[in-house]
Amino acid sequence: MSREAKFKEDRVRRIAGKGGPKPFVPTQAQREMVIALAAIPRPNKMIASLIINPADGKPIDEELLALAFADEIKQAQAKYDLLCSQTIVSRMKAGSDAMVALWARNKFGWDRPNQTMTFRVPDQNGDIGDDNKIIIELVRAPKREG
């Protein structure tokens, strides 16, 4: 580890009371911003440029970002995937046709409108025939006049 990197690591993890510059301590708002941007994902250089160190009033650099926000960067995508999944499921349970269509589109790989998916459903005897099929077609909603 280079001397400069060691200094930055010490600046983040230093125990209060020792001499030298105060360590950078991220705020909750900064942590949430890093999670949101890392989940998109945005480059670390761009994220670091938005995090201001109150000690000097300047943006932090990429190395300090990686040290101070390691957990947030590592978990960002999973946290947003979980949030989106929970939201889609809750809206599907509430009867949202749009969320069912979104889920089906992603689950079955529907990437173009007007594409259909056919399901063959067994009848009471367990037979699957042409009479027992469900066809789902995704179409674009008409543009609203406004």
What confidence tens digit (pLDDT) does each residue in 50-82 have? Answer: 999 988 899 999 999 999 999 999 999 999 999
Average pLDDT score over residue span 114-130: 65
Determine the pLDDT at residue 146. Answer: 64
> Interior CA angle at 21 toward 16 and 24, to 5°?
70
pLDDT band at 142 (very low <50, low <70, confident <90, very high): confident
Q: Is 92 exposed, middle or buried (0-12, 13-18, 19+ CB in 10 A)?
A: middle
Give SS3 for 135. strand
Q: Position of tokens 């911003």?
A: 33
Determine the pLDDT at residue 13. Answer: 47
Indicate if the pLDDT at residue 118 is higher than 80. no
Determine the pLDDT at residue 111. Answer: 57
pLDDT band at 101 (very low <50, low <70, confident <90, very high): confident
pTM across the whole model: 0.57
Determine the pLDDT at residue 76. Answer: 95
State what percent of residues in the chain have pLDDT above 90: 41
